[in-house]
Structure formats: C-alpha cells, structure tokens
Chain A
Amino acid sequence: LAKTTQPISMDSYEGQEVNITCSHNNIATNDYITWYQQFPSQGPRFIIQGYKTKVTNEVASLFIPADRKSSTLSLPRVSLSDTAVYYCLVGAHNTDKLIFGTGTRLQVFP
C-alpha cells in the first residue's frame, strides 16, 4: 500500500474553494486514489475516487496529474458543514483493506 502525505490542517472561509493536495510518490500502476471525509463523532464517509485525470461528482472534484504521484481534492464553495477531516488513501482495486493516515483537518470559518 502506497504511503501518502497530506497537510495536517487547513483553514478556510465560507464560500471559498479549498484544495487539499496529497502526495503518493510510490503509487503503483494498479492503485486507485480515494478520499474519505470524517465529521466529528461520525465514521469516515467515501467522497470520491479516481485513477487519472479528473473526476467530479456532486460533492467534490479530484485532479490527478499524468505522473499520478500526487492528487488534489477540490471542494467548491465550502460551508461550515464541510469542517471535517479528509483522508487520502491509495490502494489497488483488489486490495481488501484501507490504511488511513493522519488526514487533513479542514476548519471552515464564517
């Protein structure tokens, strides 16, 4: 399982776009990049997953450069309710388990 590195914390204000970058220099050919979100007092929740280029859903966008050694989770126009910890995970589709790192604690201010 590839190791990931992401900022420990980030601050933002309501209405701004937030970009959280994750480094995964040792990503393997079969690895996918997945992001989870964890609100206080809740379990993590899947946000988005991608392999290359760009993926977008109703919650976020995921940008993956051609070398795939990093990825950026983009949250458009954040609100106070986006305050959470965001985890970047890397693993192959046939990998059973997930390894969560320390995550990025996003604090959104009014």
Chain B
Amino acid sequence: DAGVIQSPRHEVTEMGQEVTLRCKPISGHDYLFWYRQTMMRGLELLIYFNNNVPIDDSGMPEDRFSAKMPNASFSTLKIQPSEPRDSAVYFCASSLVSSGVAYNEQFFGPGTRLTVL
C-alpha cells in the first residue's frame, strides 16, 4: 500500500486566495483525520470523518476552513480566504479502528506545507 497520500506537498499562496489541500487515505480505512501543526500550537486535530461523515469539527478554527469527504478514497480541506496565520503543515491521517497493530493506530501522510504571504 502506498500509505496516505497528500497533495500538494508544498503550497505558497497570497493572502485572500483560496487553498485546497487533498488527501487519499489508505484503502479500507474508515476514519480520516485532518491535523494542523505549527511551532506555537503543536499538532492540532481540526476535523475527522468516519465512513465519510464528519464526526467532530470542533477543532476547525474558523468558518474560513471547510472539509469534505465525498467518498471513501478522497478528502479535501479548503481555506477561503487564506490568511498568513494559516501558514502551517497540514497532515491527513487515516485509521481502521478494528484492526492494525494497536487500537486507534493512525497512519499519517507526509503533510502539506502551506505558506500564506
């Protein structure tokens, strides 16, 4: 398996522009998570899905952030409009709760480094 795939790996945009981050989870996994990591705030959970349904979006910082999972193999995280304080590394992770090495083992993608100028 190729693991969790994220695109793009790097994104540089200007303030006010729309940004879309993409994630392909591991095939067969039923949970998908979006995280954001910064030096100041560490690794924060933004939102997660179970069987394509959003379960908890309490970590989404503002209405400018939205996430969708139209099918089991694809999810997007959109920021519109983007602001400089959104600059961070965004990780996608997936898991299959009932299997794996251990309970709740999450498999992370390589991340998307977003820079908003």
With the chains together, A64 CA to B1 CA distance in Å? 33
A7 within 8 A of B: no
CB neighbours (8 Å) of A91 from chain B are 104
B111 within 8 A of A: yes
Residues of A within 8 A of B50 (CB): 96
Size bracket, chain A contacts: 20 to 34
Q: What chain A residues lie within 8 Å of B91 (beta carbons)?
A: 43-44
Given known contacts A96-B97, A100-B43, A102-B42, A34 and B104 CB-to-CB distance under 8 angstroms: yes
Does A32 contact B102, Cβ atoms closer than 8 Å?
yes
* Given A42-B111, A43-B91; A96-B56 close (CB under 8 Å): yes
Give A residues with C-beta under 8 Å from B. Answer: 32, 34, 41-46, 48-49, 87, 91, 93-103
Q: List 29 A-B contacts (CB under 8 A).
A: A32-B103, A32-B104, A34-B105, A41-B111, A42-B111, A43-B4, A44-B91, A46-B101, A46-B102, A46-B105, A46-B106, A49-B101, A49-B102, A49-B103, A49-B105, A91-B104, A93-B103, A93-B104, A94-B97, A95-B104, A96-B31, A96-B48, A96-B50, A96-B97, A97-B33, A97-B56, A99-B45, A100-B45, A101-B42
